[in-house]
């Protein structure tokens, strides 16, 4: 930290949005000290320890960047002037470009073609700007993916809590997660990790799952393990749902088609006087055995909650 004797504050640069209304976060704030110009986080006001080379960063961490993004989304849009002509498109230099527009374009690309198809160049093309214009708003692809996760989780939402009904509450959290992976398959690839992006909306989902167990006398570690078991079950079966979606995207056979054509050949293999795998062969005429992923998800969720119940009934 600097002292009054060696610090001289410079006024921050003012950031303005198109139309004349001021943005909620200044682009850069600098403090002049004996060490030179030191950047200050536009979100929390923390002074950086050193000034990196190149463009001065706006935020001290990705968490501050995510909070700033959420704050911008919460701001009411100013009234637009009534004009008879269509407003001009953003220029190739990024005039009129916003973080929200970048994130929406990136989510559309990932939803349609998967995370592997996402690149800063392709997002720039979708926004009709040059690639370098994106870096005035996001630090890079990793930061963009975190903002995408924050956006889709925040948009998915969950109904109001059901206090006192732990089972119904955990089931609602699990179903919301299942629906999220169905709508945004790429999100599973990002979150099924021991080091997922710890953005606020993801943490809020885990917090809600843990809160469902309040009042049952369980220690924090047990509560956390129960919540992670439920969410982990969703992610495990989510791999099958994502595989089904990717197969459809590649115009391959659907799960039902595969079940009707490929599986029977393997199940009919003979070993002596009967099928080599008699128990599996008995499922040949039951299409729900492999094709109904939603039914499998609901069945497994109910059984998992049945197993959790004795811990809460002690």
Write out pLDDT tens, residues 193-212.
Answer: 888 888 999 999 999 999 99
Q: Tell me the C-alpha to C-alpha distance, in Å, between residue 39 and each of 49, 52, 63, 67, 72.
A: 9, 9, 17, 18, 21
Tokens matching residue 186: 């790429």
Q: Among the listed ranges 22-26, 230-234, 306-310, which one has the minimum average pLDDT value?
A: 22-26
Evaluate if residue 11 carries a pLDDT over 50: no
Highest mean pLDDT among 43-52, 124-133, 162-171: 124-133
pTM > 0.95: no
Q: Are residues 97 and 236 in the same domain?
A: no
183-204: b (≥16 Cβ within 10 Å) or e: ebbbbbbbbbeeeebebbbbee
CATH code for position 126 = 1.10.10.60
The pLDDT of residue 60 is 76
- Angle (CA) 307-312-314 rounded to 5° is 110
Helices 200-211 and 166-183 cross at an angle (nearest 10°) of 150
Query: How many domains does the chain fold into?
Result: 3
3-state DSSP call for residue 245?
A: helix
The pLDDT of residue 50 is 55
Highest mean pLDDT among 32-46, 156-170, 256-270: 156-170
More confident residue, 76 or 286: 286
CA–CA distance, 125 with 119 (Å, rounded to integer): 10
Residue 80 belongs to a domain: no
Last residue of a domain, which of 134, 156, 178?
156
Domain that holds residue 68: 61-74+87-156
Nearest to 174 by CA among 224, 211, 229, 213: 229
Residue 262 makes CB contacts below 8 A (sequence gap 6+) with 253
Q: Among the listed ranges 23-27, 237-241, 280-284, which one has the minimum average pLDDT value?
A: 23-27
CATH code for position 225 = 1.10.357.10
């Amino acid at each position: 930290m600097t002292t009054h004797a060696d610090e001289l504050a410079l006024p921050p640069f003012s950031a303005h949005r198109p139309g004349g209304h001021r943005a909620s976060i200044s682009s850069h704030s600098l403090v002049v000290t004996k060490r030179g110009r030191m950047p200050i986080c536009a979100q929390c006001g923390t002074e950086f320890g050193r000034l990196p080379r190149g463009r001065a960063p706006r935020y001290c961490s990705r968490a501050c960047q995510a909070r700033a993004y959420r704050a911008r989304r919460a701001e009411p849009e100013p009234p637009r002037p009534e004009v008879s002509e269509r407003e001009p498109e953003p220029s190739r230099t990024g005039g009129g470009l916003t973080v929200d527009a970048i994130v929406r374009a990136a989510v559309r690309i990932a939803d349609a073609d998967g995370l592997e198809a996402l690149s800063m160049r392709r997002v720039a093309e979708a926004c009709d700007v040059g690639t370098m214009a994106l870096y005035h708003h996001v630090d890079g692809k990793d930061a963009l993916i975190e903002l995408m996760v924050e956006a889709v989780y925040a948009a998915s939402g969950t109904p109001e809590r059901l206090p006192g009904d732990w089972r119904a509450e955990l089931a609602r959290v699990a179903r919301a997660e299942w629906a999220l992976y169905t709508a945004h398959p790429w999100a599973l690839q990002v979150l099924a990790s021991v080091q997922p992006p710890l953005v606020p909306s993801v943490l809020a989902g885990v917090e809600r799952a843990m809160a469902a167990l309040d009042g049952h006398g369980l220690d924090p570690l047990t509560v956390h393990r129960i919540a992670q078991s439920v969410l982990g079950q969703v992610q495990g079966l989510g791999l099958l749902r994502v595989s089904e979606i990717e197969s459809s995207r590649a115009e391959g056979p659907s799960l039902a088609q595969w079940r009707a054509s490929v599986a029977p050949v393997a199940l009919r293999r003979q070993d002596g006087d009967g099928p080599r795998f008699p128990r599996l062969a008995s499922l040949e005429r039951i299409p729900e055995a492999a094709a109904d992923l939603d039914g499998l998800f609901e069945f497994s969720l109910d059984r998992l909650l049945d197993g959790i119940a004795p811990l809460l009934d002690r």
